[in-house]
């Protein structure tokens, strides 16, 4: 599809229209959908201003690329040598007197580059260690284990045939990031199964969608039995389902507050759960080849979860939104290489836990400067109103029936 052409909005006639009132309601819903699609299209395709083009994420990436460029390092070392021994480099007395002034700045820059290189080295070693074979008990085998770990991946990279053997289960896969990820994996050849309380917005011959409320254990158990019976046991599990509210806590219903509390608790707990699960899989169960990846992101573009939300320029510079396609690329790469990883985007995601160590007045000042306390007030009214679907009893859900999927030819 041409990127400069607005996406088509298809008019659904399922369920069939039964009255003029139903037709009016559906037209209102379509009007809101078109408005949100137009806003999202404009946000992604209109020219960006300075704060969007040159935000902190972009600057960090460019500085990192510049510092790690071999040409930069060689040039800096050459200049440092000239400043340290100017008499060997030139016979000009003025240059001999001037060059030593730059010793300290060159040393500071070189130390900064060294810190970046050390950080990269620690990151690579951590990733290699996480995905390595267990440390051999025989000390004589350790040198060969180190060489093999540093030079060869533990598990082979999935090729086309390997992807066709995978069965991927994605919760929250009806729309947004989950739907985009489902399509990407289905195109790789994997058999993809999505769970969601809403009807799926994507179609693919390799994709099956199930209506399931994962907050209800009995519903999950029923759908899980059906999935295993129809498709076999999943080989990859992606826990993506989430909720969001566009209103302050005191404006929410009791049910919405309960759901929010459960969701927030589960999001905080998943970090510790991920760490514990990785340790137990390696040490207790002896299954180091079972991989686990934790994904932590900021505000995502290309999804409708925060349609209409606006930030001030400083917030857009310091805390830029993340392209959903970028997150998907990193997730798919981790799955394809069969590696455990920590995926944290954008730059501040890895540092957010440190905010709790700051004094409350500093934390409050950061919230104020970034406009975080009032950013949700600009969210699209239709999105705020649809923040959380009404509670649905289990009896009204088709617990074991997949949603209808149209066959799409390649």
Which DSSP string corresponds to 293-343?
Answer: EEEEESSEESSSTTTT----HHHHHHS--EEHHHHHHHHHHHHHHT--EEE
CB 173: neighbour CB atoms within 10 A? 30
Please give the pLDDT value at position 230: 94
DSSP output for 238-268: EE------SS-GGGS-HHHHHHHHHHHHHHH
Predicted TM-score (pTM) above 0.85 = no
Most confident of 219-233, 256-270, 352-366: 219-233
* Alpha carbon distance 195, 242 (integer Å): 12
Cβ(80)–Cβ(87) under 8 Å? Answer: no
CB-facing half-sphere around the CA of 97: CA atoms within 13 A: 3
Which pLDDT value is given to residue 274?
Answer: 85
Q: Could you write out the DSSP letters of every residue in 335-372?
A: HHHT--EEEEESGGGGTGGGGGGS-HHHHHHHHHHHTT
| Closest to 40 (Cα-Cα) out of 385, 304, 345, 320 | 304
Rounded to an integer, what distance in angstroms lies between the CA atom of residue 213 and that of residue 219? 6
Q: What is the pLDDT of residues 362-400, one digit of tens each?
A: 888 888 888 877 776 666 555 555 544 333 232 223 333
Per-residue model confidence as pLDDT tens digits over 169-227 = 999 999 889 999 999 999 999 999 999 998 888 899 999 999 998 888 899 999 999 99
The percent of residues in the chain predicted with pLDDT above 70, rounded, is 74
The pairing of strands 207-211 and 293-297 is unpaired
Instruction: Report d(CA 370, CA 191) in Å as an integer.
Output: 42
Q: 265-306, pLDDT tens digit by residue?
A: 666 678 888 888 888 888 888 888 999 999 988 888 877 766
Angle at alpha carbon of residue 197, lines to 193 and 203, rounded to 5°: 45
Q: Is a pLDDT exceeding 50 seen at residue 79?
A: yes
Question: What does the pLDDT read at residue 357?
Answer: 87
Return the structure tokens found at 371.
């406009």
More confident residue, 44 or 90: 90
Q: Across the chain, what does the average pLDDT equal?
A: 80
pLDDT value at position 379? 62
- pLDDT score at 329: 95
Which is it for strands 322-323 and 236-239: parallel, antiparallel or unpaired? unpaired
pLDDT of residue 247: 64
Query: Which of 51-65, 92-106, 160-174 is modeled with the greatest confidence?
Result: 160-174
Give the highest mean pLDDT range of 29-43, 47-61, 179-193, 209-223.
Answer: 179-193
As a whole number of angstroms, the distance between CA 279 and CA 321 comes to 32
Going 15 to 19 to 22 to 28, the CA torsion angle's sign is positive
Q: How far apart are CA 379 and CA 307, in angstroms?
A: 6
Return the pLDDT at 144: 92
- The strand pairing partners of 66, in sequence order, are none
Element (H, E) at 39: helix 20-45
Report pLDDT digits (tens) over 81-105: 888 888 887 788 888 888 889 899 9
Residue 50 has pLDDT above 50, yes or no: yes
Under 8 Å CB-to-CB from 293, ≥6 apart: which residues? 331, 334, 335, 339, 340, 341, 342, 343
Give me Rg for the CA atoms of the chain. Answer: 26
**Which residues on adjacent β-strands are paired with residue 402?**
210
pLDDT band at residue 262 under the 50/70/90 scheme: low
């Amino acid at each position: 599809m041409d990127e400069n052409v607005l996406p088509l909005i298809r008019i659904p006639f399922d369920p069939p229209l039964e009255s003029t009132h139903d037709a009016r309601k559906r037209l209102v819903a379509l009007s809101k959908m078109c408005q949100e699609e137009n806003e999202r299209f404009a946000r992604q395709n209109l020219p960006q201003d300075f704060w969007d083009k040159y935000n902190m994420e972009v600057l960090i990436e460019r500085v990192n690329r510049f510092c790690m460029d071999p040409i930069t390092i060689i040039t800096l070392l050459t200049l440092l040598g000239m400043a340290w021994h100017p008499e060997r480099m030139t016979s000009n007395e003025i240059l001999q007197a001037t060059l030593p002034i730059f010793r300290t700045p060159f040393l500071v820059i070189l130390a900064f580059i060294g810190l970046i290189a050390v950080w990269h080295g620690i990151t690579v070693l951590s990733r290699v260690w996480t995905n390595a074979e267990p440390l051999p008990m025989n000390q004589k085998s350790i040198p060969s284990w180190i060489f093999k770990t540093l030079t060869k991946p533990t598990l082979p990279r999935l090729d086309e045939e390997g992807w066709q053997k995978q069965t991927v289960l994605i919760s929250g896969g009806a729309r947004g990031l989950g739907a985009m990820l489902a399509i990407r994996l289905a195109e790789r050849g994997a058999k993809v199964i999505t769970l969601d309380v809403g009807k799926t917005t994507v179609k693919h011959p390799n994709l099956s969608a199930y209506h399931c409320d994962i907050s209800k254990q009995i519903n999950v158990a029923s759908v899980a039995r059906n999935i295993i019976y129809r498709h076999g046991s999943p080989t990859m599990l992606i826990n993506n389902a989430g909720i969001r509210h566009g209103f302050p806590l005191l404006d929410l219903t009791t049910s919405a507050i309960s759901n929010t509390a459960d969701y927030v608790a589960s999001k905080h707990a998943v970090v510790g759960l991920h760490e514990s699960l990785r340790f137990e899989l390696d040490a207790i169960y002896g299954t180091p080849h079972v991989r686990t990846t934790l994904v932590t992101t900021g505000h995502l573009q290309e999804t409708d979860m925060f349609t209409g939300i606006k930030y001030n320029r400083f917030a857009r510079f310091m805390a830029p939104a993340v392209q959903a396609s970028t997150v998907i690329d990193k997730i798919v790469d981790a799955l394809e290489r069969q590696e455990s990883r920590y995926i944290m985007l954008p730059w501040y995601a890895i540092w957010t836990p440190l905010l709790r160590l700051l004094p409350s007045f500093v934390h409050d000042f950061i919230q104020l400067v970034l406009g975080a306390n009032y950013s949700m007030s600009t969210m699209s009214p239709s999105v705020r109103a649809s923040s959380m679907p009404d509670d649905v009893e289990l009896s009204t859900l088709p617990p074991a029936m997949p949603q209808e999927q149209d066959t799409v030819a390649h």
